[in-house]
């Protein structure tokens, strides 16, 4: 049973999701958190991960570590996205099993579901159709992680559970225009255009795809919920259950940043999946629900961005 003194290792504790989980656990009174930076521990190195887990002996592992990025990054670095993500998660999952870690929380992404699956996306839709080509490399890696944790539940009866968030955003996000996701990329573009006399902003695609967004602190609360409860199934969607068009998202961010220029849609660029709305009824039935609505979350993220604009996180390949 997890308590406030349980030793909890958060892999990826410096990233957007991992740091939100760390802050949330500290705020709730957890006193025995451990982490290792990428310079201290290369999660792609199997022996290094095994040695670290064996020495640290955590009671719980939360895997918030991943090679992540938007359409451009996934398209340009398919090998890194499939191989490095599989290395990271496989090393963590297998080391946890070998060292007797009883509880493991694996974080994935809504992109694991088929591109044209019925909406909203239910957990049962996994592996029922073709993936979205623009991020299939990342999706396949994450699917293997889900299945590895499911196999451990089935074979060894351990509490290994997978949480699949919708599109996450928030403080400590990646705002690098070459590798970031849609919301932080838009935020940076609108902010810089405002600073440049409200210059026009060009955005990818048609603006018609529908997307759902979850503030990262709400994701952290879902992880704590999974930490403090033994969830009866192996896979759970985490989201708001509400989506909007990319055009509506752009207009919301434009309003919050104060940009007053023109928005130009470059329809020669890909849209990605037409819609990705999560069915979150399973988590709702257990008692978890998000708290931060999109406009408030974007405002909080923008306030943080403005304070940290000179050193916003960048990802280098």
* Annotated binding-site residue? 200: no
* Annotated binding-site residue? 181: yes
Task: Judge whether 302 counts as a catalytic residue.
Answer: no
Give me the sign of the Cα torsion angle 293, 299, 303, 309. Answer: positive
* Annotated binding-site residue? 13: yes
* Annotated binding-site residue? 191: no
* Annotated binding-site residue? 290: no
* Annotated binding-site residue? 204: yes
* Annotated binding-site residue? 28: no
* Annotated binding-site residue? 173: no
Catalytic residue among 113, 138, 172, 234: 138
* Annotated binding-site residue? 107: yes
Identify whether 120 is preceded by a cis peptide bond (ω within 30 of 0).
yes
* Annotated binding-site residue? 114: no
- The DSSP bridge partners found for residue 103 are 60, 159
* Annotated binding-site residue? 281: no
Q: How far apart are the first and last CA of the chain?
A: 40
* Annotated binding-site residue? 110: yes
* Annotated binding-site residue? 284: no
Binding site residue list for NADP(+): 12-18, 107-110, 142, 165-168, 181
Binding site residue list: 12-18, 107-110, 142, 165-168, 181, 189, 204, 211, 271
The catalytic residue positions are 138
Binding site residue list for substrate: 189, 204, 211, 271
């Amino acid at each position: 049973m997890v308590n406030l003194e349980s030793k909890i290792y958060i892999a990826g504790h410096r990233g957007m999701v991992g740091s939100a989980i760390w802050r949330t656990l500290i705020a709730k009174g957890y006193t025995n958190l451990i982490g290792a930076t990428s310079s201290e521990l290369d999660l792609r190195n199997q022996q290094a991960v095994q040695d670290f887990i064996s020495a640290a002996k955590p009671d719980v592992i939360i895997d918030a570590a991943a090679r992540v990025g938007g359409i451009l990054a996934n398209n340009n670095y398919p090998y890194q996205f499939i191989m490095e993500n599989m290395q990271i998660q496989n090393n963590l999952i297998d080391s946890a099993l070998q060292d007797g870690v009883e509880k493991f929380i694996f974080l994935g992404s809504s992109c694991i579901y088929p591109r044209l699956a019925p909406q909203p996306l239910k957990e049962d839709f996994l592996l029922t159709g073709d993936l979205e080509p623009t991020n299939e490399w990342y999706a396949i890696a994450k699917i293997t992680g889900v299945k590895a944790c499911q196999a451990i539940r089935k074979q060894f009866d351990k509490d290994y559970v997978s949480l699949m968030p919708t599109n996450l955003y928030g403080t400590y996000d990646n705002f690098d225009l070459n590798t970031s996701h849609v919301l932080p990329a838009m935020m940076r573009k609108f902010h810089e255009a405002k600073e440049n006399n409200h210059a026009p902003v060009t955005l990818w695609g048609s603006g018609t795809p529908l997307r759902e967004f979850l503030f990262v602190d709400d994701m952290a609360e879902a992880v704590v919920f999974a930490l403090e409860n033994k969830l009866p199934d192996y896979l759970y969607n985490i989201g708001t259950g509400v989506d909007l068009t990319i055009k509506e998202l752009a207009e919301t961010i434009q309003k919050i940043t104060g940009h007053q220029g023109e928005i130009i849609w470059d329809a020669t660029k890909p849209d990605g999946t037409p819609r990705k709305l999560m069915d979150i009824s399973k988590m709702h039935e257990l008692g978890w629900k998000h708290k931060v609505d999109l406009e408030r979350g974007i405002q909080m993220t923008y306030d943080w961005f403005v304070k940290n604009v000179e050193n916003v996180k960048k990802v280098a390949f």
